Amino acid sequence: MKLYDCQIAPNPRRVRIFLAEKGVEIERVELNIAEGDNLKPDFLAINPRGLLPTLVLDDGTVLDECVAISRWVEETWPNPPLMGTNARDKAFIESRNRHMEIDGFMSVAEIFRNSHPSFRDRGLPGLSAVPAIPQLVDRGRAGIARFFERLNSDLGQHPFVAGDQFSIADITALSVVDFAGWVKEKVPQHHVNTHRWYEAVSKRPSAAA
């Protein structure tokens, strides 16, 4: 089993935090996305989408997408549970995690990929020849502002993103907040609920993974 990883990138970090919360170690292969290792023939032969992280299981199954990789980890090492243990919690955590991805992560990725000079022909992950679209930077900045408002409001009702327990939705949200810092988008100072939550989840040992 091998986890194709990239130390500096936000998505691989989500899986590293997930593994750290489980106390599980998997052999890692570090790729350098700044040098385009993930778009070179050797890696495309493993994952034609060219995305990190990618987990190759012992039976040869290739898994990409953070949540699919996390699902395999959760099913293989159920404790501590990070994706719920009954129908309601599994579904609610999945719903909340998708809010973090779609409303949060994608907004930041829109800003980053469409403004950073190195990505001017890589407007979508895992592909070259997709031109950056400058208007997406504005759309992403408006999106992350809306996301931060809603996150602070939700965290006023529960200690964690999907309720009373730490879950994969907190891992995604943490990665959104830290990734947002790359494009100079910060949680507004008066969002006290988010600051309280951020301090707590950042202090967990897994956050350093």
Instruction: State the amino acid at position 198 in one-letter form.
Output: Y
Rg of the chain over all Cα atoms, to the nearest angstrom:
17
Helices (H), the chain: 10-22, 41-44, 66-76, 87-99, 106-115, 135-154, 168-182, 192-203
In the bound complex, what is the minimum distance in angstroms from residue 72's beta carbon to a second copy?
4
* Identity of the residue, 136 or 183, whose beta carbon is nearer to a second copy in the bound complex: 136
* Identity of the residue, 68 or 200, whose beta carbon is nearer to a second copy in the bound complex: 68
* Identity of the residue, 59 or 199, whose beta carbon is nearer to a second copy in the bound complex: 59
In the bound complex, what is the minimum distance in angstroms from residue 95's beta carbon to a second copy?
4
Q: Which residues bind a second copy (CB under 8 A)?
A: 48-49, 57, 59, 61, 63-65, 67-69, 71-72, 75-76, 86-88, 90-92, 94-95, 98-99, 102-103, 123-124, 127, 130-131, 133, 135-136, 139, 142-143, 146, 150
DSSP 34: G
Contact between 12 and 53 (Cβ < 8 Å):
yes
Return d(Cα 171, Cα 174) in angstroms, integer: 5
* Identity of the residue, 152 or 207, whose beta carbon is nearer to a second copy in the bound complex: 152
In the bound complex, what is the minimum distance in angstroms from residue 92's beta carbon to a second copy?
6
User: Which residue is listed with tokens 């500096």?
Assistant: 8
